[in-house]
A and B are shown apart, each in its own frame.
Chain A
Amino acid sequence: MKKSTILFLTILSFYAFMNHGGGIYKTNTGNISFYSHTPVEDIRAVNHKVKTAFSSESGQLQFSCLIKDFEFKKALMQEHFNENYMESTTFPKATFNGNIKSIAAIDFSKDGTYSSEVIGKLTIKDVSKEVATTGTFVVSNGVVNAKATFNVNPYDYNVKIPKMVAPKISKSIKISVDSDYTHNH
């Protein structure tokens, strides 16, 4: 009798855990794009192989992406971005390590749209700066889509831009994040 009660409670706990959706949500195919607008030139690039995960219990959120994997429309722009400004052979990754502040308010077992402040450290070229933004989390059929935008100043991250091309590059580059997370059992 006692054994069967323990077994029953274990199974019940397992189902409760599964339905709550606790644990790690992850994707290796997240999207990060950036957009620099100046009167002289608009620059866009996108990366579709962003590795990112969050804990639905602690709210910890992490990203890692390769700088060389940002695709530009113009090959020459991509080359200059990597070789001259980002020095991406020496500094190959950009990472983010932060927290979803209102993680407890997100019900991962129920479809819905939630928003939460996200704060953390963005590291580019070995320089870490705190960034904060509001993220939108859409839970749908077990998949969590997260979107957020924030702006960075390239000079804050030791990106050296020659005076001649400085008018072409914005001091407030818009970063957009869009990722579909699935539960990592």
Chain B
Amino acid sequence: MKKIATLSISFILLSVLLFAYRMYNKPHTNVTESDAYEDLSAAQLFDMFDKNEDSAMTIFSDRVIQVTGTLLTKDFSNELEPQILLKTDNENGFIRCGFKPNELQILEQLKDSSNIKVKGICKGINGDDELTLLVDKDVILSSSIIIE
């Protein structure tokens, strides 16, 4: 009887430890393997954040989404995270997509003004009305990949 109890407690302890270990080492969201929560245009996405940031954060933040838009420019100035900008209907508003450095070759082939679809994790809108030097605003996607 005592042996069974010891074995049961050991099994439970091991299970808890294994669960804790797996949680501690759980991987980051894999954008490639994740289904997109929403598929929308760059203009629609920016507009939602611009009109009501709190509401858009509740809907989109940390979600994998697909965004279609016109490539405005490529920004490879930070080699740790190459980035691209998608146009929106707002001249001071953009969708900024950050990529892992191993995506650089694919990004280099993109042509400005081409229509592209990007999948990434939405992080929110950067820029602040009170900061006069930073008047433009970017909705940020991270760990992005090019879909088409």
Contact = CB atoms under 8 A, between A and B. Distances in A.
A joins B in a complex: yes
B77 A51 contact: no
A109 to B, nearest CB: 21
B24 A76 contact: yes
Nearest to B22: A76
Given A48-B80, A89-B61, A62 B126 contact: no
Contacts of A66: 123-126, 140
Nearest to B58: A89
A51 B127 CA distance: 7
Contacts of B93: none
A92 B138 CA distance: 13
A89 B81 contact: no
Q: Which of A27, A29, A48, A180 has the most CB of B within 10 A?
A: A29
A54 B133 CA distance: 7
Contact of A28 (B62, B80, B96, B128): B96
B26 interface: yes
Interface of A: 24, 26-31, 46, 48-49, 51-55, 60, 62, 64-66, 68-69, 71, 74-76, 78, 82, 88-89, 92-93, 95, 97, 180, 182
